[in-house]
């Protein structure tokens, strides 16, 4: 007899043999200078056309790494077709952006900077502004041995974003074997997720 998908998911209580999720670990980025430089760039509105917004405007670290909006504002004043994804732990994703069309943080960052609906800038506009800032000029020279350029700006931004890991949350402790780290309701939700994932995998194989 074939069991309906929904019934199979809801009725399953036994966990699968392997966890589909692993605990979050902090990224190893030894150069704290690059992280600090990247943080400055992340919060600098000069990375957008006409100094309109910073990366941190839509990815607020005091919230959940996004802007809390259903649909984020576009550069021209309208609304985008999507909201801002969180930047926390984004470096662990093998695909980035809602469409999953970017493989690296650097690649996505450049696309966001140049997108006319997002940061709406160009390297021809951005780099002269950074190079004319004595503080940036000194920091880039000390860290990279050169003035700000496309490669070093993207590298510093990515270094900061890779530092935005959130290890040791209650869920991480649960995954490490501390079964009382979650409430009964949270654990049931995770069991439902695992069951759904396994049922979908079986459907795809059939």
- pLDDT at residue 16 in the model: 39
Residue 156 predicted with pLDDT over 50: yes
Q: What is the CA radius of gyration of the chain?
A: 21
Task: Give the model's pLDDT for residue 6.
Answer: 35
Confidence check: pLDDT of 138 > 80: yes
Query: Comparing C-alpha atoms, which of 204, 163, 171 is closest to residue 189?
Result: 171
Q: Where in the chain are the domains? A: 32-162, 167-205
Residue 113 confidence (pLDDT): 95
The class of domain 32-162 in CATH terms is mainly alpha
- Calculate the alpha carbon distances from 120 to 45, 53, 82, 177 in Å: 12, 10, 17, 46
How far is the C-alpha of 183 from the C-alpha of 129, rounded, in Å? Answer: 51
pLDDT at 146 over 90: yes
C-alpha atoms less than 13 angstroms from C-alpha of 187 in its C-beta half-sphere: 14
Mean pLDDT throughout 139-157?
97
Residue 26's pLDDT band, with cuts at 50, 70 and 90, is confident
Please tell me the predicted confidence (pLDDT) of residue 7.
33
Identity of the highest mean pLDDT range in 2-16, 20-34, 40-54: 40-54
Mean pLDDT, residues 48-65 taken together: 89
What lies within 8 Å, CB to CB, of 160 at 6+ separation is 34, 35, 36, 37, 38, 39, 41, 42
106, 110, 86, 88: which is closest to 98 by C-alpha?
86
Residue 32 pLDDT > 80 = yes
* Residue 129: C-alpha distances to residues 31, 95, 145, 174 (Å): 25, 31, 18, 47
Q: How distant, in Å, are the alpha carbons of 15, 108, 163 from that of 160?
A: 37, 14, 5
For residue 36, what pLDDT band results from cuts at 50, 70 and 90? very high
- In the block, tokens 């690649």 appear at 107
Q: What's the pLDDT band for 131 if we cut at 50, 70, 90?
A: very high
As a whole-number percent, the residues of the chain with pLDDT over 70 amount to 91
Which pLDDT tens digit goes with each residue over 163-190?
A: 999 999 999 999 999 989 999 999 999 9
Binned at pLDDT 50, 70 and 90, residue 137 comes out as: very high
Q: Six-digit token pair at 182?
A: 């979650």
Higher pLDDT: 202 or 7? It is: 202
Task: Answer yes or no: are the C-beta atoms of 177 and 185 closer than 8 Å.
Answer: no
> Is 5's pLDDT higher than 90?
no
Work out the pLDDT band at 10, boundaries 50, 70, 90.
Answer: very low
């Amino acid at each position: 007899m074939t069991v309906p998908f929904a019934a199979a998911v809801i009725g399953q209580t036994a966990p699968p043999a392997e966890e589909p999720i692993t605990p979050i670990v902090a990224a190893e980025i030894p150069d704290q200078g690059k992280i600090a430089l990247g943080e400055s760039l992340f919060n600098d509105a000069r990375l957008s056309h006409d100094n309109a917004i910073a990366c941190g405007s839509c990815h607020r670290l005091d919230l959940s790494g996004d802007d809390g909006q259903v649909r984020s504002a576009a550069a021209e004043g309208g609304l985008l077709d999507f909201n801002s994804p969180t930047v926390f732990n984004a470096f662990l994703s093998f695909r980035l952006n809602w469409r999953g069309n970017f493989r690296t943080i650097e690649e996505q960052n450049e696309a966001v900077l140049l997108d006319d609906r997002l940061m709406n800038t160009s390297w021809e506009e951005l780099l002269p502004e950074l190079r004319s800032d004595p503080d940036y000029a000194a920091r880039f020279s000390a860290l990279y041995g050169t003035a700000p350029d496309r490669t070093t700006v993207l590298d510093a931004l990515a270094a900061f974003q890779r530092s935005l890991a959130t290890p040791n949350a209650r869920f991480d402790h649960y995954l490490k074997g501390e079964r009382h780290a979650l409430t009964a309701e949270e654990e049931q939700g995770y069991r439902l997720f695992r069951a759904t994932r396994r049922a979908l995998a079986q459907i795809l194989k059939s």
